[in-house]
Structure 1
Amino acid sequence: MNGNRLVRYSLRTIVLVYLGLLIVWPVSLVAKNAFSEGIGTFIDALTEETTAYAFQLTLIVAVWAVVINTVFGILISILLVRYTFPGRRALSAFIDLPLSVSPVVVGLALLLAYGGTNGWFGPALEDSGIQVIYATPGIIMATAFVSLPLVIREIVPVLTEIGTEQEQAARSLGANAWQTFRRITIPAIRWALVYGVVLSLARSLGEFGAVKIVSGNIVGQTQTATLVVEEKYQNFEQTAAYASSFVLAAAAVLALIVVTLLRPGHEESASTAGVTAATTSVPTQKDPA
C-alpha cells in the first residue's frame, strides 16, 4: 500500500515538474518581461497603431475561421458518424492532416493553389477582382485549415456514443430533418461543440506558420498578432514582443479555463447530457417547431 502511494506521488511530482519547466515557468517569464517596464509601457505597446491593427485582424480572422469550422465541423461529423460510404475512413484520416502536417506546408500549398501569379486558381480569381493570397481571405483559409480537426474530434465521439435511437424516434413521430437536427442532434452535442469552438478559437488566435506564408506579413495590412511578436522581437523591441505574447498566451489560458469551468457542471459527460436533453425534447406531430 505504501509502495503504491510512493509510486503515485513520485509520478505526480515528475509530471508537475515537467509541466512547470516546460510550460508554467516559460510563460510566467513572458508575463514578467511584459510588465517589466510598467503597466503604462505595456499598454502603449499594445495600443501602438500597427500592433492594435494586427490584433484586430487576428480577432476577425479567428472569428471567421471558427464560424467556418463550426458549420463544416458539424456537417462532417454527422457525415462520418451517421452515413456509410466509400472512402469514409480515408476522409476521417484526411481530417487529421492539419495536425500532422507543418503549418508552413499548409501555407505553401495554399500559395501554390491560390497565388496570383503561379497559382492554379489565383489568376482567374484576380481577374474576377478577388485576391486570396496576401489578403484576409487567404489568412482565414490558412487558419481554418489548421484548426479544422478540433471541432470534429470533439463532436464525433459524442455522436457515436449517443447513437441514433432518439433521432429515429423523432422521425417516427413526424419530425422532419431540420426539426430532428435542431431539437435532438444539437442539444445532444452542445457541450462537445462548445469545447471544440473554444479550442478552435484558441488555436486560431495563435497560428503563425501558415499565416506567415499566405499573408506576406505586410505591416498594417496583413500582419497578424503572432507576426507582430516575431517582428518586434527581431527589431529588438522586446517589451512590445513580450506584451503581444502575453496577450496571446492569456487568451489561450482563458480558453482552457472556460473549458475547465464548463466540464465540472456536466460531469456525466457531454454525451449523457445530450441524451437527456434529447429525451425531453422529442417533437410530436403537433409540434409546430
Structure 2
Amino acid sequence: MVEVSTPLKWLLRLVAVGYVFFLVAWPVSLIVKVTFADGLTTLVDTLSDPYVQNALKLTAYVAFWAVVINTIFGVGISLLLVRYEFPGKRALSAMIDVPLSVSPVVVGLSLLLVYNGRTGWFGPTLESWGYQIIFAAPGMIMATCFVALPLVIREVVPVLTEIGDDQEQAARSLGSNARQTFLRITLPSIKWAVVYGVVLSLARSLGEFGAVKIVSGNFTGETQTATLVVEQKYQNFEQGAAYATSFVLAFVSVLCIVVVSLLRPKESAQ
C-alpha cells in the first residue's frame, strides 16, 4: 500500500468534495431555493394543477410496474448468471449493461419501430387484439424497464457471488425444494442488495425522460409524465412550476436512498 502524506490526503478529499458539490449538491440546492423562494406558494400551486397531478400519478404508476418487473427478472437473471453455467453466459452479462451505454432516445425510437400500431413489427397485430403499446402506459413501462434494467442485477450479482452456494446446497441435501431454498436461504442473504437495487431502479424510473418522451407521445393530461411536465412548464416560461415539479421528483428519490441507507445494517453495507 502506498503511503500518502496528510496534506495530500486533505487535498484529495477537498477535490472529491468540491467535485460532488459543484456537480450535484449546488445545482440541486438551487432547485430547492427557487422552489421555496416565496414559501410554499409555488409548490402548493403547482401540486394543485390537475395536469401536474395526473403527470405525477402516471409517473408513479409507470415507475411502480417498472420496478416490480425489473426486480422479478433482475433477481432471476442474477441467479442465472451466478449459479449456472450455459452457452452465451458472457454475452448475456454484457447485454445487461447495454442500457447504460445506449441513449434512452434510441431506446424509445427502437420501441416505436417495433410496436408502432401502423408500421411496427408487432404493433398492428397487438392493436387488432385490443392492446395498444405505443402512446400508452405499456410502452412507457417497457421503456422505463429498459433504462433501469441493470440496477437490480448489478446490486445482487456481487452479493450472490460473495455468499456462495454452500448453504443452498446444504438446504437441498436436507430435502428443501427450490422454492423453499430461495425463500429461506437465498432471499434473506440478498435482501439488502435487492432493496438497494429497487431504490436505485425507482429513482432512475422516476427521472426517465428521453425514452418515455418518444413512446408516450407527450399528450398533456394523458401520457405526460412528471419529467415531461417539467420540460413543458419551463418552455412555457412557468419556471416556478417546473422547479417545483423537479423538486418533488428529486425529493422522493433522495428520500428513498437516505431511508435505505439509514435502515441498512452496517455489516450489510460493507
Q: TM-score range by the shorter chain?
A: over 0.9
% identical aligned pairs: 65
Residue of structure 2 in register with 1:64 after alignment = 65
Residue of structure 2 in register with 1:28 after alignment = 29
Equivalent AA in structure 1 for residue 184 of structure 2: R
Matched, 1:184 2:185: yes
By how many angstroms is 1:262 displaced?
3.0
For residues 38 and 165 of structure 2, the distance between their equivalents in structure 1, rounded to whole angstroms, comes to 58
Equivalent AA in structure 2 for residue 199 of structure 1: L
By how many angstroms is 1:269 displaced?
4.5
Tell me the alpha carbon deviations over residues 78-134 of structure 1, each in whole angstroms, 9 at most, x when there is no partner. Answer: 111111000000000001110110100110111111111111000001000100000
For residues 209 and 86 of structure 2, the distance between their equivalents in structure 1, rounded to whole angstroms, comes to 36
- Bigger shift: 13-22 or 102-111? 13-22
Output the TM-score relative to the length of structure 1: 0.90
3-state DSSP of counterpart to 1:139: helix
For residues 79 and 234 of structure 1, the distance between their equivalents in structure 2, rounded to whole angstroms, comes to 46
Query: Structure 1 segments of 4 or more deviating over 6 A?
Result: none
3-state DSSP of counterpart to 2:121: coil
By how many angstroms is 1:34 displaced?
1.0
3-state DSSP of counterpart to 2:199: helix
Distance change >3 Å, CA 125–CA 215, structure 1 → 2:
same
Q: What is the number of equivalent residue pairs in this alignment?
A: 268
Supply the RMSD in Å over aligned alpha carbons: 1.3
For residues 140 and 121 of structure 2, the distance between their equivalents in structure 1, rounded to whole angstroms, comes to 18
Equivalent AA in structure 1 for residue 260 of structure 2: V
By how many angstroms is 1:16 displaced?
1.2
Residue of structure 2 in register with 1:6 after alignment = 7
3-state DSSP of counterpart to 1:222: coil
Residue of structure 1 in register with 2:93 after alignment = 92
Residue of structure 1 in register with 2:150 after alignment = 149
Matched, 1:208 2:209: yes
For residues 3 and 181 of structure 1, the distance between their equivalents in structure 2, rounded to whole angstroms, comes to 45
Equivalent AA in structure 2 for residue 134 of structure 1: F
In structure 1, runs of 5+ residues without a counterpart are: 271-289
Residue of structure 2 in register with 1:110 after alignment = 111
Residue of structure 2 in register with 1:287 after alignment = none
Output the TM-score relative to the length of structure 2: 0.96
Residue of structure 1 in register with 2:266 after alignment = 266
By how many angstroms is 1:3 displaced?
6.9
Equivalent AA in structure 2 for residue 139 of structure 1: M
For residues 61 and 268 of structure 2, the distance between their equivalents in structure 1, rounded to whole angstroms, comes to 35
- Bigger shift: 136-145 or 252-261? 252-261
Equivalent AA in structure 2 for residue 57 of structure 1: L
3-state DSSP of counterpart to 2:5: helix
Distance change >3 Å, CA 43–CA 10, structure 1 → 2:
same
Residue of structure 2 in register with 1:245 after alignment = 246
